[in-house]
Structure formats: C-alpha cells, structure tokens
Amino acid sequence: MLQNSEGHSKCEQCIVRQFNSLKSLTKNELVRISGCKTSKIIKKGEPLFQEGEHINGIFCIKDGLCKVSKMSDNGRDQIIHLIRKGDIIGERSLINDEVSNLKAVAVNDMEVCFIPKEEIIRDLQNNSNFSMDMLKKMASSLKNADNVIVDMAQKTVKQRLADTLIFLDEKFEKTEEGSIGISLTREDIANIIGTATESAIRLLSDFKKKKLINLKGKQIFVLNIPELQQISQGF
Amino acid sequence: MLQNSEGHSKCEQCIVRQFNSLKSLTKNELVRISGCKTSKIIKKGEPLFQEGEHINGIFCIKDGLCKVSKMSDNGRDQIIHLIRKGDIIGERSLINDEVSNLKAVAVNDMEVCFIPKEEIIRDLQNNSNFSMDMLKKMASSLKNADNVIVDMAQKTVKQRLADTLIFLDEKFEKTEEGSIGISLTREDIANIIGTATESAIRLLSDFKKKKLINLKGKQIFVLNIPELQQISQGF
DNA sequence: TATTAAATATGATATTTATCAGTTTTTTCT
DNA sequence: AGAAAAAACTGATAAATATCATATTTAATA
C-alpha cells in the first residue's frame, strides 16, 4: 500500500458527512476543508480530548464510539453523551472560544477527522445553511438536555437504568448475537445513570431475575422493552 | 394618556435588547421587527406558554420573572430555568419548528414582547452576526445544561439546595431588606432542586439552624455564602 | 373580619441508595 | 499458561430521601 488511504480520503466523498451538519457545506467548501483536515486513530481507552483542553477545531467521527464525560465535585465521572460514527464533537467549545468542559474517551478503536477552528468559523459566517443546520442541531441537543435534567432530578435509579438500557438497545447497532452493540463496563453504566457501581450491578441482576434482560459476561441482551418502558415510567 | 406607551414602544430604543442576541440586529432590522412585534402583560401565576403549545415566535422579557418547567413522567414539575428581564425565550422551538417542550409561568407580573417566527428566521438567515450570537448563546446554554446534569446526577439534595441558594442570591437583585429577590414557594424550590417539598423545607430549616440562611416568611436571607459553597462541594 | 384554602412545618416511618468489606470471575500481561 | 490486576458480584449496614399523617401558620377572599 503506497499511501494511507484513510489519512488522505476526501470529505466530498465521505459518507459519514451525510449524518451531520457538514452536509450543508458546498462542494467548494468541502474541498477546502478536505485539504486542511487531519485524520487520527484513537485506540480504545485513549482520550480524544481532556477537560480543560483547547480543542481548536471539531472532530468528525468516521468510525468507533466514545464516551463524553465530566468530573463532578465529588470526584465521580458523569457520562453525558455517547458519540458514534457520523457525529461531530467540539463545535461548542469552538463557538464559545473556550476550553472544553468535557472529556472524551474512546470506547473502542476510533477513526476521526479533525477540522481546524478557523475553517469552520469561516463557513459558519458565510454559509447560512450551515449555520442554520448547526443551530438546529444545538436546539435539538438543548431539548434533549432538558429531558435528561428532568429524568436525573425526578426518576429513581431503577427508572434511569431502564431508560438507559432502552436507549443503548435502540441507538447502537446490535452484535451478531443480538446483544447491545456498545461494550460498557458496569462502572460506565453507573456513570451514565448517576449511581454507585454496586447499585447498577444489583439492579442489573434484578432485571435479569425478572427476565427483562440477560447477562452473559459483558454482553447485555434486552429481552422485554415494553416492561422496561413501564419501569421507566414508574410502574 | 392618549396611547399605551408600553405597547407601542420601539425595539430600537429598548434597553432590554442590549442584554440578548437582538443587540446584533441592524437598525433596519430592528425597525422592521418593531413594527410587527406585540406586547403583552402576563399576571403573576399565569402561563406565558404551555407544554405542547405552538409558540410561533420568540418572547423578549421586558420586565418580570418566570419559571420554565417540564412535567416528568411521575407527575412532578421540574423547573429547568428562571428567566428574567432581558432574556429571550422560545428561540429553540422556533429553530426546530416544534411545539414547546416546556411550560413558562410568571413568578410576578411580567411585561413581554412577542416577535413572530418569520421575522426572526429571516434575520437568522441574512445576518450572520445575529446567527453567530444565537449560536454562542446556545453553546453556552448547552455547557450550562451539562453542569446541571452532572449536579443532578451526582450531588445530594443538600448540595443542590446550597447551589440553588447561592445561584438565586447572585442572579436576582436583592430586596431592600437584603433577601433573595425572587419570591418562590417551598414547592418551587423543591422543584428546582428535584426533591420532595418536605425535604426542601426540612433542609431549609436545617440551614437556618446552622445560621447559613435566615427565613422570615417567604423571604430568604443568605448569610454565609462561603459555607454554602463548602456544602455544595460535599464538605 | 370571618372563613376557607393554601403554604409551611414537623414527626414517624418506609424506601431507596451509598458505602464498606469481602469474594469470585474475567481480563491483561509476561 | 500462570500471575497479577481489574471488573463483577454479594452481603451487611448506614445514610439519604420519600411518603404519609397531621399541626400550624399565612394568604386569599366572600
């Protein structure tokens, strides 16, 4: 192989772009961005960026998954987002010209493209389709954040675990065996729902006993979504 | 008095505009918007809009305060924002072209201006300063939402009450006597921190005993911010 | 102002969740 | 493969929080 086909692939031809705001860029803008982007491989467990870091651009996820978290005052990591192929991350710090308030760590091996800040800012200012698209994405994220806040504030840990299982089962392509397609530790799950690891483990066992899920090592099989939805709503 | 001076006042001269994204509009845009805006008085306790309602525009708060909340599955109202003079609300539903996911109720008598959707969309598309400003506002709201999620997920009710008292004391102009300048019921406070009303009342009494605050009827006097900050951080 | 309703307050108790301690299982690395 | 480390699990207990019941105070209003 004479060249790294990943590193030199073109944004104009990248299928991933269809899933995010970059789809609103013109051909010319894409060619320009393609010329200054860089590609990166992030190994499982490695950070894409850290809390407090100057990101200075956005990442477009070409492949893989990452967990985005924030450290709380009491020293526990709260996972706020799970990001996957097609998603963009870093646009907020870019727009506000601030260091990142979040940390992103690869859940499995990732391939990402990095686009420098200036290029994105330029297009946000000149291409109103692009900026409107970004606005829509943010408005939608804010709506979602409202829902998360309400759930965190009002639901029990059991309800939140049910929510999380439904969410993971829906959002991530399942494995061949039919289990949830994102391999998280029990600690990760606890850090998504905001509880102690032991509590998450106990409730998972509980759900297994009730045949709502099945557990085979790290694999989680969601068996009864309707019942999980009932639990989520407090029944 | 020959005309309602409130109803016919001009956006170009409105001081409130300085505090929000409308400051990025040009003179011409402001004159146009001024011509199609409408003014409204909302009495204490009345809704500005309801969950599920088509807002079809944005509200610019000229005076007064309102609480913005969302009903949770278990039937309790979670207050997500407190909005005051100079703030804008409704832009998210407008951008996403969706019904509101939130309810807004006046905490005291309010005076608001309503600007129809089409006018704002037009300016977002044509004035990149305006859209960048809106993007910045949303990016900042998202950052704030992250913090709220982490706090809700990880902090105890006591910590969240301390946070809320500090926040209310800082954000709202104090009364003449020096108490917190927004008059909320104990239930409202409970609905901000996400707990039962009784728990909020008990913790407030507790804080009073420890001389961190003083309570005189509905008035709350914050006495010891440093200690409240300690509590907020888990000490 | 008398009456009623709403808000605040407090006690008793049940439930939920965290913490600590320890065991077993799985994964990683040499 | 075998040792070491990490993750998963379980039990006992403490702490936090919700719920229910009821009393008291404050606000609303006829």
B141 touches chain A (CB under 8 A): yes
Pick the closest to residue B134 from B84, B86, B95 (CA basis). Answer: B95
For residue B179, what are the CA distances in angstroms to B156, B162, B192, B218?
25, 16, 19, 10
Measured in angstroms, the CA of B175 and the nearest CA of chain A are apart by 29
Q: How far apart are CA A82 and CA A64, in angstroms?
A: 11
Can you list the residues of chain B whose pLDDT is less than 50? 1-7
Give distance CA A192 / C1' D22 (Å). 40
Q: Which of A79, A138, A158, A191 to mutate to test the interface with B (most CBs of B within 10 A)?
A: A138
A131 touches chain B (CB under 8 A): yes
Closest residue to A92, CB basis, from B74, B125, B139:
B139
Closest residue (CA to C1') to nucleotide C17 in the complex: A199
B200 phi/psi in degrees, rounded to 5: -65, -45
Can you list the residues of chain A whose pLDDT is less than 70? 1-8
B70: CB partners within 8 A, 6+ apart: A146, A147, A150, B51, B77, B78, B80, B101, B102, B103
Number of A/B CB contacts below 8 angstroms equals 148
Residue A8 has a pLDDT of 61
B111 touches chain A (CB under 8 A): no
pTM, entire model = 0.94
What sign has the CA pseudo-torsion B176, B182, B188, B191?
A: negative
Residue B4 has a pLDDT of 40
Residue A13 has a pLDDT of 87
Please name every residue paired with B115 in a beta bridge, in sequence order, or none if there are none.
B58
Q: How far apart are CA A111 and CA A120, in angstroms?
A: 20
For residue B99, what are the CA distances in angstroms to A139, A177, A221, B57, B92?
13, 40, 35, 11, 10
A147 contacts B152? CB cut-off 8 A: no
Residue A74 has a pLDDT of 86
B150 contacts A70? CB cut-off 8 A: yes
Residue B8 has a pLDDT of 61
Residue B7 has a pLDDT of 46
